[in-house]
């Protein structure tokens, strides 16, 4: 086994220069809960590991004056879960993030790592997508900001170019009448990989009619899905039985899952509809709470 260099840049520019200048495979290290497992299993042979946690921007979780949040790419789930503001404003985003692993894994697991590991079953991703979150990417050509759903292009592959990494995420202010939720199904009660995950963010008007909706499914296709037909099925309704059936059907229609020991195609598809109904119900309850 070759030895691996280890770098801990303190600025974004230094990190980009290291990524760009690396001969061989450079790997970013955030919480290491995927990277170290892969290293140990010899799935990776990086020439250099670049620890981004000394870059202040990656480590800060800030509520901005307009009510939006900037979340550093390397902030750990446990740190976010300890914050009353974001937990109250976006419970679904926090639910997805906090479902990642055990208490110990939470001490390290970041949104940047969960997204860039690019598993179709990453638990934080559907809720981030539903909430309309975007990613701030830095690279040799400067910065760009793109929606979370555009980052993963295939299992294990992101759209990041050589020299690029995720610095932080933007989470909008919680809208008036807004609520969100994330649910996943796993065969156990803790510590397992999602068979299906569903993130929902909606807004209701004063009469309880759905004004906006974004619905996202994880683990039922090669990448996390945005199900526009599911959103259409409930916008303009009061979430009556017909709207919920249409939502369920749209989610099932969007699934292109794999068949494995943890869930057959038929099962995953059916569950996608069930979780969407339940997550929408929870999001609507939260939207009603002032």
Ligand X SMILES: Cc1cc2nc3c(=O)[nH]c(=O)nc-3n(C[C@H](O)[C@H](O)[C@H](O)COP(=O)(O)OP(=O)(O)OC[C@H]3O[C@@H](n4cnc5c(N)ncnc54)[C@H](O)[C@@H]3O)c2cc1C
Does position 185 interact with ligand X (CB under 6 A)? The reply is: no
Q: Which is nearer to ligand X, 15 or 204 (CB)?
A: 15
**From residue 49 to residue 88, what is the string marking binding to other proteins with x (rule CB under 8 A)?**
x-x-x----------------------x-x----------
Instruction: Report what 227 binds from ligand X, other proteins, none; CB cut-off 5-8 Å by kind.
Output: none
**Residue 43 binds to ligand X (criterion: CB under 6 A):** no
- Phi first, then psi: give them for residue 222, nearest 5 degrees: -65, -30
| 51 binds, options other proteins, ligand X, none, Cβ within 5 to 8 A by partner type | other proteins
Residues 6 or more apart whose CB falls under 8 angstroms from that of 233 comprise 243, 246, 247, 249, 250
HSE value, Cβ hemisphere, 13 Å, CA-based, for 42:
2
Beta-carbon neighbour count of residue 93 at 10 Å? 29
Among 37, 43, 146, 253, binds other proteins (CB under 8 A): 37
Going by C-beta distance under 8 Å and a sequence separation of 6 or more, which residues neighbour residue 59? 53, 72, 74, 75
Sign of the C-alpha dihedral, residues 76, 74, 157, 172?
Answer: positive
* 199 close to 129: Cβ distance less than 8 angstroms: yes
Quick check: 178 binds ligand X (CB under 6 A)? no
Comparing C-alpha atoms, which of 283, 282, 223, 279 is closest to residue 254?
A: 223
Q: What are 30's two structure tokens?
A: 């955030």
Quick one: what does residue 5 bind among ligand X, other proteins, none, with the CB cut-off 5 to 8 Å set by partner type?
A: other proteins
* Identified binder of ligand X from the candidate list 86, 116, 130, 272, rule CB under 6 A: 116
Question: Which of ligand X, other proteins, none lies near 3, with the C-beta cut-off 5 to 8 A by kind?
Answer: other proteins
Summarize as ranges the residues that interact with other proteins (CB under 8 A): 1, 3-6, 8, 29, 31-33, 36-37, 39-41, 49, 51, 53, 76, 78, 101-105, 107-108, 189-191
């Amino acid at each position: 086994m070759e030895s691996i260099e280890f770098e801990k840049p303190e600025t974004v520019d230094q990190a980009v220069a290291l990524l760009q200048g690396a001969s061989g495979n450079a790997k970013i290290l955030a919480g290491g809960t995927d990277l170290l497992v892969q290293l140990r299993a010899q799935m990776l042979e990086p020439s250099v590991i670049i620890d981004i946690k000394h870059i202040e921007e990656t480590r800060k979780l800030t509520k901005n004056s307009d009510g939006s949040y900037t979340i550093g790419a390397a902030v750990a789930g446990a740190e976010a879960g300890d914050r009353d503001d974001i937990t109250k404003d976006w419970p679904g985003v926090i639910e997805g993030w906090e479902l990642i692993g055990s208490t110990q894994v939470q001490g390290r697991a970041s949104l940047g790592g969960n997204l860039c590991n690019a598993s179709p079953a990453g638990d934080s991703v559907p809720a981030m997508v539903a909430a309309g979150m975007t990613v701030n990417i830095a690279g040799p050509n400067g910065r760009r900001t793109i929606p979370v759903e555009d980052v993963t292009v295939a299992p294990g592959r992101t759209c990041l170019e050589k020299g690029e990494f995720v610095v932080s995420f933007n989470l909008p202010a919680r809208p008036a009448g807004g609520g969100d939720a994330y649910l996943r199904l796993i065969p156990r009660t803790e510590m397992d990989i999602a068979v299906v995950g569903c993130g929902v963010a909606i807004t209701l008007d004063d009469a309880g009619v759905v004004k906006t909706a974004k619905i996202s499914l994880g683990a039922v296709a090669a990448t996390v899905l945005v199900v526009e037909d599911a959103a259409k099925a409930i916008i303009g309704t009061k979430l009556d039985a017909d709207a919920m059936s249409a939502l369920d059907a749209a989610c099932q229609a969007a699934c292109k899952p794999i068949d494995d020991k943890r869930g057959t195609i038929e099962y995953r598809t059916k569950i996608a509809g069930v979780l969407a109904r339940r997550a929408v119900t929870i999001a609507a309850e939260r939207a009603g709470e002032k």
